[in-house]
Amino acid sequence: MLKRIMAVCFLLSTALLVKAQSVSDMVEEAKQLEKQMKESEAFEKDKDILKIQPTQLEALNQASQLCSRIGNRQKNKEDKVNYYNQAKRYALQALKVDPNSPDANLAMAIAMGRMALISGAKDKVAASKDVKKYAELAIKFNPSLAQGYHVLGKWNFEVANLNAFERGAAKMLFGGLPDGSLQNAIADYEKCRQLDPAFILNYYELARAYKENDQQEKAIDVLKKALTLRNIAQDDASIKVDCRKMLDDLQ
């Protein structure tokens, strides 16, 4: 009887080990698909992982960020909202697994930031406070997380450019928002560039901030540098097209 129990325990432990190894392999495959600029395939792989192991943190974080990026490429608002809501759900699950995860906090900041950009004044302002909170938490838990500074830079840029109606909504809902400025946006984007010199989207947004701040020469230099970089993400080619258009306008 004892031998039979030991044999069953051995088989169960072996099955769990194989399952864990399988999930580990799948996580690595999802990462490789993203590096190969196959984001939809990477997202499907993450969903397969989460069916097996719903609390797999790397898959939750990657799925959230992929939804934010895929959603941003959609043509109509309804599809964008669908992906951004998925991004928020995955980020929320990741935060439940580990509230101190810098990547989970970053994923939530990105998801809420994307949703804010397509929302009306009240929803935009309401989301804005959380975007800042989660971006700052991501940086707190990992001070070298380049994209955390990028999101904070985007927050500063958008708050600095709120229109009168949006500022009125902020005052009504929250008594106002923390000050956001182009100078702070530039500082955050530059910090991101220092930490991750290959992040092409950051160059585009930094150039926008320099342009808005009447620093055209710096904007031109940043755009020229962006165009020399190697594409490493699926959106990089289209971002370079936008960089070229801005550069042509400035020269």
The domain segmentation of the chain, as residue ranges, is 35-196
Per-residue pLDDT of the chain (251 residues; tens, 9 = 90+): 555 555 444 445 444 444 555 899 999 999 999 999 999 999 999 999 999 999 999 999 999 999 999 999 999 999 999 999 999 999 999 999 999 999 999 999 999 999 999 988 778 878 888 999 999 999 999 999 999 999 999 999 998 887 776 776 666 665 666 677 899 999 999 999 999 999 999 999 999 999 999 999 999 999 999 999 999 999 999 999 999 999 999 98
Q: Which amino acid is at 250?
A: L
Residue 247: how many CB atoms within 10 A of its CB? 17
DSSP per residue over 140-208, as a string?
Answer: HH-TT-HHHHHHHHHHHHHHHT--HHHHHHHHHHHS------HHHHHHHHHHHHHH-TT-HHHHHHHHH
Q: Distance between CA atoms of 61 and 55, rounded to whole angstroms?
A: 10
Instruction: Classify domain 35-196 by CATH architecture.
Output: Alpha Horseshoe (1.25)
Q: What is the rounded radius of gyration, in angstroms, for the C-alpha atoms of the chain?
A: 21
Q: Measuring CA to CA, how many Å separate 60 from each of 22, 28, 47, 67? A: 17, 13, 9, 11
**Do residues 109 and 134 lie in contact, with contact meaning Cβ atoms separated by under 8 Å?**
yes
Ranges of H-type helices in the chain: 2-35, 39-52, 57-72, 77-97, 102-117, 121-141, 146-160, 164-174, 182-195, 200-212, 216-228, 236-250
